[in-house]
Structure formats: structure tokens, C-alpha cells
Amino acid sequence: VQLQASGGGLVQPGGSLRLSCAASGFPLDYYAIGWFRQAPGKEREGVACIDNISGSTYYTDSVKGRFTISRDKAKNTVYLQMNNLKPEDTAVYHCAADLDINWSDSSIINFTRAPDAAWGQGTLVTVSS
């Protein structure tokens, strides 16, 4: 069971990147998938997630309206489209399969990695002019 995140790089403020989270050894749609990031000197934070049953998505406030998480079942891949990137988006981004999701009615309010979640090698995103 492996996850591999890719697609990071150096981009100017206002630019875009698309991160990919590819799975091998298991179908990604068996699990809720989340993207996390960790910037130097900061704690890891959950950026976005997608539930495998409802398709519901969640975004942390700082990326709402700029990032979009999606799933391609045929490619066994989850994507994170990042638009209008800002310097504060600079971080190593990881994806994880299997999340602990907190719900309010039918909306996701936050999420964390499940204890046994698969965790992919990260990809570095640098936003700088």
C-alpha cells in the first residue's frame, strides 16, 4: 500500500499548480483522502479532503475559493488544483488515505489522519517571486 504525491514546484504568486496523489496496492475510493501541508517551523495542517462515500469536500479557510480537490477513479488518483497561489502556501504537501472526519449535519467541519492512514511522500510547493 503506497501513496505518492507529485506535482509540486516553484511558482510565482498568483500562479497555479496541480498536485496528484496516486495510489498503488489499493483503490483510493475505498477511503476518504486528505491533503496536508507543513511549512517550515509550523505545525502540519489539513488543507482539503474528499469523502469517498458522499463525495463531500472540505477546505481549510485559507484556501477556500482557490483550491479544489477531486478524484479520478479510473486513474486511482486524487488531485489538488491550486490556483492564485500565495507565498503562505509554501510547504511540503502530503496526501493521506483514511481520515477521521468530523461532520455537522451533512457538512465536513474538519478532519485528521486516522491512526493507520497511508501517508505518501510529500511534494514541495514553493510560491515566490
pLDDT at 116: 85
C-alpha pair distances (Å), 45 with each of 9, 36, 64, 112? 19, 6, 14, 9
pLDDT tens readout for residues 53-112: 999 999 999 999 999 999 999 999 999 999 999 999 999 999 999 899 999 998 999 999
Q: Which of 47, 23, 25 is nearest to 34 (CA)?
A: 47
Measured in whole angstroms, the distance separating CA 27 from the mean position of its chain's CA atoms is 17
Residue percentage of the chain with pLDDT more than 90: 78
pLDDT at 64: 97
Q: Mean pLDDT across the stretch 114-123? A: 88
